[in-house]
Structure 1
Amino acid sequence: MTTQARPLEGIRVIDYSHFLAGPYLSRCLAAMGAEVIKIERPTEGDAGRHHPYFIEGQSGYFLQQNMGKKGLCVNLKDPRGRDMLEKLVATADVFVENYRPGALAKLGLGYEALSALNPGLVYCSVSAYGHTGPESHRAGFGLIAEAKSGIMAMVGSPGEAPPLLRIALGDMYTGIHGVAAINAALLGRVKSGRGQHIDLSLYDCLVSMHEYAGQCYTLSGGKIVPQQTGHDLPDSTLYGVFTARDGYLVIAAQVDAAWKRLALLVGGEAFAADTRFHTAAGRNANRLDALPVVRAWTEVRTVAECLEALDTIDVPCAKVQTIEDVVNDPQIQARGMVLRQHHPVLGDIELLNTPFRFSGCDTTIREAAPLMGQHNRQIAEELGFGASEIDAMMRDGVLYQEAAVADLKA
């Protein structure tokens, strides 16, 4: 039941980012109620607009990460465009960017310059390596951070090249750290009256994810370096992926009680009574004797048959689902994770939702991502520009909009 305003109602965010980490970050802020103004350069726009999947000239990639935002497409090389951005900064609470460190400072859009215009501004920078350190000058993407972080070296089968993760782990994880940091900085501003610069690195964020490998290495004095293990975890038996007749499933029976129930199911009383497997240490030490018994049980059954039997004895398990399975999963549907929006060009579309659930408000984004320059006139008017000034900027290309924007008023 909606009883409260969304937490960030009244907060204005300038999204001067592109592709993924920054846009995902600001999309989350929009879900929490912030007014997010997406800044794009004329004719090209955000690089994400040129990334598939495409439908009727619109990028699903862009639609997914920029929903709920207003679109301002402005040429900052023109003094009138620069003046507009400075006026906008003066009214903003948050500025998000994900350019290589130093790039925006050269344009007069770094933290020092913008905080001079607005001391309360929370300025969040996302980059591959951060703004300090010997590699801070280097460009990078999520793939680079995934390789550097040590995560990629632990996935896949032993002796084979690590696989691509196929999800933008570095970008998305860094983006959500940005959400947390920005909210903390806004709260801190209540006491201090001043904003601050948040410096987020994709590399740092992925390194911070090591809940196991890092402490194993440091506390063992460098003796333990987690390696590729394929389909299970040698230090957490039984916990892994198993083959069924028609697909794959995962089983998590690493806890003693769950193991005993599983052992009885797959191997009978004699297997369940084998004391070698009654402790975590024992199962790990004898995993090569335990795994074949479980595999033999799953391989002759369908995924559905395995899941039904495992659910009956309360052993955590799940099918390895495709995205088709996920989108149509009753649990995902019930949680509102697939949302429907109306797009001015595409009509009704379905995209994936953010995961935030607040008891007092609805954070579902109803507004589709903006067309390029869709809100130029509205934002310019709010900043005090007159109709003749706006018309001139539109005519001169200082403000740019894609052709479909004009059709909205037709």
Structure 2
Amino acid sequence: MPGPLQGIRVVEFGTLIAAPFAARLFAEFGAEVIKVESPEGGDPLRKWRKLHGDTSLWWSLQARNKKSVVLDLKSADGADAARQLAASADVVIENFRPGGLEKLGLGWDALSALNPNLIMVRISGYGQTGPYRDRPGFGAIGEAMGGIRYTTGDPSTPPARVGVSLGDSLASLHGVMGALMALLRVKTGQGGGQVVDVSLVESVFNLMESLVPEYAMFGEVRERTGGALPGISPSNTYPTADGAFVVIAGNSDPIYRRLMRAIGREDLADDPSLATNPGRVARNAELDAAITHWTSGRNIDAVLEALDLADVPAGRIYSAADIVADPHYQARGMLLNTTLPDGQPITLPGIVPTLSETPGEMRWTGPALGEHTAQVLADLGLGADAIARITAKEK
């Protein structure tokens, strides 16, 4: 079954995480994604984290279904080929610092003049405008300035980070969302191309719920609360007798009552002052203590079984080993068993979201550097001499 984005061509001028992750999502749902890489080793992510041979395992995921084309964008031939690629594309995705592509003759004005229907997704630390636009920005800085770092961790410790590149991934998702909205406008004849301006800081900020209005109206600064969800009770992380931790979300009124009865605290279940969330928030420490007393006397399996019977949302905190062993992940197709180009078996994450009629698919893992250069350039109509000049610079 063809993917829903079949027939869409995406050109990626990106490295590491934000732009490449956005392009990967297009590739998983049928778009032709052409990743333009430098002849000087390509995307640095090829060498990040754990390696198999000399290539990152992350690369096999981040670049799956993409075509790798090596171009020296600082050369006349390379920049000209890049412009031809953009002229043939529906979407260009890039994460240069603002102004970086303009210096190479590949900015919005140049590319949109060649392709008036082009959608250009520009992911940067602070966006294409504003006083901070020229500052370097990584996902970690977006998390810090977007507000999520300040609210993450235990109040007795410095702000913590999530163990993945959250800021970059959030920017990727916003970039894809913006690109699809802009594409819909073009494909339905409502207008031409446009820039999708995505800031790492703003992508994180967009998730911060009522943080700003609470401060603006009441002067309240949301602080770190560990595993709890501030202003919503009870919802926290609780220890079990076997050293595991369980997340319990008992914060709707009927679920709260079921939870209290499951832990043998009918007195708290029937207390009229705890019938709604504001009353529970006022006595949150008492409720957390009662739940902790109950979970601490049982192992994780017993806790989960009791809460499942009571129809209370709960889950153990999963490691990678837990995820790979979980039958639900397997049943949902979230663990894809495949092989690397050298035949080495590997398990990769499945494709999200799940579409009933036109699901995404993995056609190949991350390509070798420049694997598709000659093929893609020939498809553009470049002659043998031009292709030979360009590919000679790959070596």
Interval of TM-score (by shorter of Structure 1 and Structure 2): over 0.9
Q: Deviations over 1:325-355 (max 9, x none)?
A: 1122211111111223333235332211231
Residue 111 (structure 1) aligned with residue 108 (structure 2): yes
Q: Measure the CA separation in 2 of the matches of 1:228 and 1:85.
A: 46
Is this contact kept in 1: 2:47–2:54, CA < 8 A?
A: no
Please say which of residues 275-284 and 10-19 is displaced more in the overlay.
Answer: 275-284
Equivalent residue number for residue 64 of structure 1: 61
1:67 alignment partner AA: R
Equivalent-residue separation in structure 2 for 1:392 and 1:107 (angstroms): 19
Matches of residues 44-55 of structure 1 in structure 2 within 5 Å?
Answer: 44-55=41-52
Q: Which of the residues 141, 146, 150 maps onto 2:147?
A: 150
Deviation at 1:192, TM superposition (A): 4.2
CA contact (8 A) 1:72 1:375 kept: yes
2:239 equivalent to 1:243 = yes
Q: What is the aligned counterpart of 2:199 among 191, 198, 201? A: 201
Aligned partners of 2:128, 2:238: CA distance in 1, in Å?
43
1:124 equivalent in alignment to 2:140:
no
Which one is further off, 270-279 or 238-247? 270-279
Which among 312, 333, 340 is matched to residue 343 of structure 1?
Answer: 340
Residue 270 of structure 1: how far off its partner (Å)? 3.3
CA displacement, residues 151-187 of structure 1 (integer Å, 9 cap, x when unaligned): 1111111131011211211111110111111111111
- Does residue 76 (structure 1) correspond to residue 73 (structure 2)? The answer is yes
Aligned match for 1:223, one of 209, 219, 225: 219
Distance 1:136 1:234, change over 3 A: closer
The aligned length equals 393
After TM superposition, the score normalised by the length of structure 1 is 0.92
Of the structure 1 ranges 208-217 and 153-162, higher mean CA displacement relative to structure 2 is found in 208-217
Cα distance in 2 between the residues matched to 1:278 and 1:81: 67
Per the alignment, in what secondary structure is the counterpart of residue 206 of structure 1? Answer: helix
Percent identity, aligned pairs only?
36
- Cα distance in 2 for partners of 1:354, 1:229 equals 33
Say whether the 8 Å CA contact 1:76–1:82 is kept in structure 2.
yes
SS at match of 2:231: coil
Of 241-250 and 156-165, more deviation after overlay is shown by: 156-165
Amino acid at match of 1:155: T
What is the match of residue 4 of structure 2?
A: 7
- What per-residue deviation string (whole Å, max 9, x for no partner) do you get for residues 80-138 of structure 1? 22232222222111111001101111111111111112112111100010011111110
Indicate which of 247, 254, 267 corresponds to 1:270: 267
1:408 aligns to what? none
Structure 1 segment 161-310 matched on structure 2, within 5 A: 161-190=158-187, 191-192=189-190, 194-218=192-216, 221-246=217-242, 247-310=244-307
Q: CA deviation at 1:222?
A: 4.1
**Contact 2:37/2:71 (CA < 8 Å) preserved in 1?**
yes
| Distance change (3 Å), C-alpha of 1:17 and 1:334 | same
**Residues 359, 271 of structure 1: CA spacing in aligned structure 2 closer, same or farther, 3 A cutoff?**
closer
Q: Quick one: which of 32, 35, 40 aligns to 2:37?
A: 40
2:96 maps to a residue whose letter is: Y
Q: Which residue identity does 2:213 align to in structure 1?
A: Q
Taking the aligned partners of 1:260 and 1:80, their CA distance within structure 2 comes to: 69
SS in 2 for 1:13: strand
Secondary structure (helix, strand or coil) at the match of 1:45 reads coil
- SS of residue matched to 2:150: helix
Question: Secondary structure at the residue paired with 2:5?
Answer: coil
Counterpart residue type for residue 9 of structure 1: Q
User: 2:79·2:105 contact (CA, 8 Å) conserved in 1?
Assistant: no
Where in structure 1 are there 5+ consecutive unaligned residues? Answer: 401-410
The answer to whether the Cα contact below 8 Å between 1:45 and 1:73 also exists between their aligned partners in 2 is: yes
RMSD over equivalenced CA pairs, Å: 1.7
Amino acid of the structure 2 residue aligned with 1:173:
L
Distance (whole Å) between structure 2 residues aligned to residue 209 and residue 381 of structure 1: 44
Contact 1:342 1:367 in 2 (8 A): no
Residue 354, structure 1, aligned to residue 351, structure 2: yes
* Structure 1 position 44, deviation (Å): 1.5
Alignment check: 8 A CA contact 1:51 1:59 kept:
yes
In the TM superposition, what whole-angstrom CA distance separates every residue of 1:168-224 from its partner, at most 9, and x where no partner exists?
A: 111111101111111111111131452111111011111111113223223xx2422
2:364 corresponds in structure 1 to 367
**Structure 1 stretch 101-110 or stretch 357-366: which is displaced more?**
357-366
SS at match of 2:33: strand
**Letter paired with 2:193:** G
Q: Tell me: CA distance 1:222–1:260, structure 2 relative to 1, closer, same or farther (3 Å).
A: closer
Matching residue's letter, 1:215: P
Once residues 301 and 392 of structure 1 are traced to their aligned partners in structure 2, the CA distance between those partners, rounded to angstroms, is 69
Q: If the length of structure 2 is used for normalisation, what is the TM-score?
A: 0.95
Distance 1:344-1:261 versus aligned 2 partners, 3 A rule: same
Q: Is the 8 A contact 1:120 1:194 kept in 2?
A: yes
Task: List runs of 5+ in structure 2 lacking aligned partners.
Answer: none
Q: Is the 8 A contact 1:341 1:366 kept in 2?
A: no
In structure 2, give the amino acid aligned to 1:194: G
Question: Counterparts of 1:282 and 1:384 in 2: how far apart (Å)?
Answer: 70
